[in-house]
Amino acid sequence: MALLKCITPYAIAVLLLAVFYVPPPLGKTPYEYLRAFWLYSGHLPSVQATRYDYLMFVVQWPFATCANQSCTYEPLPDFFTIHGMWPSNKRDPQPAYCNGTLFNCSEMNQQPQLKSDLNVSWPNLINISDNMGFWGYEYNKHGTCCGSIYNQTAYFRTAHQNWSKYRVEMMFRDAGYRPGNSYTLTELQAAIKTKTTKNPALRCKNLTKSGGGYLLWEVVICYDPKGIYVMDCEPNLSRCSKVKPILYRDRQIDELLYI
């Protein structure tokens, strides 16, 4: 089955979508989901990225990611996991699905240690049985846009190394911040900046039944285009209130709805 997914992902996706709806991974739209698989098949022209300004290294808090959708990863990790490493521009358009070599399952299988590392640092929280599919989706959409700097193995190894170097939950712990409590945007950013020396970006989910509070979801650490050094993230990358408290969630709260 794993080999079949590597060889004919487009055919499988079309069949599944034709027979019954398959939820896109990690909140992606059905269009993006089908587009990614269509790209695998070679039927959709990719977009050439001539340049990008920086790399966004994005980690997610599992208890927030799975707050408003079903996740098969149980028990959820009590640490931040990788969402992606995205070549980005300060102004739109953002590069995606660029020309270059697409994700190769066989190449990943030839790197057993890297694959084992990524199963921990970069799991598919939505469908734990399909980590490879998540990696392939992220690489084909984003990794191809920095192919002149990283080949597939280097791209994923760099992402894992970044995750290992900057463990966000440990930064919060060192600052005395614990899941289950609320903090300000300034406090959370300062805890990360203490380790990276640069301003990160934070992204939140907005609580709709508790007076407009915010739930910490993702942390973005920005790198130069070659991924060598950390740089300040643009202030507009943050998606959290500057004044309202941000909940660092520690458990499932099914009665809350998010937008």
Domain chopping of the chain, boundaries: 2-248
DSSP state of 233: P
pLDDT tens for each residue of 137-193: 999 999 999 999 999 999 999 999 999 999 999 999 999 999 999 999 999 999 999
- Residue 40: the pLDDT is 42
More confident residue, 257 or 202: 202
Cα 82 to Cα 26, 45, 242, distances in angstroms:
12, 28, 25
- Residue 216: the pLDDT is 97
78-97 mean pLDDT:
95
Distance of CA 211 to the CA centre of its chain: 28
Percent of the chain residues topping a pLDDT of 90: 66
85-99 mean pLDDT:
94
- Indicate the pLDDT class of residue 209, thresholds 50, 70 and 90: low
231-238 mean pLDDT:
95
- Residue 22: the pLDDT is 40
Rg from Cα positions in the chain: 18
Residue 45, C-beta contacts closer than 8 angstroms, at least 6 positions apart: none
Evaluate if residue 251 carries a pLDDT over 90: no
Cα 187 to Cα 37, 69, 86, 183, distances in angstroms:
41, 28, 25, 6
**Predicted structure pTM score:** 0.81
105-109 mean pLDDT:
97
Q: Across the chain, what does the average pLDDT equal?
A: 83
Evaluate if residue 13 carries a pLDDT over 80: no
- Residue 213: the pLDDT is 75
Evaluate if residue 94 carries a pLDDT over 60: yes
Q: Which residues are designated catalytic?
A: 83, 138, 142
pLDDT tens for each residue of 24-62: 444 444 434 444 444 444 434 444 445 899 999 999 999
**Strands 81-88 and 230-231: what pairing?**
unpaired
Domain boundaries 2-248, corresponding CATH code: 3.90.730.10
User: Reduced to 3 states, what is the DSSP secondary structure of residue 209?
Assistant: coil
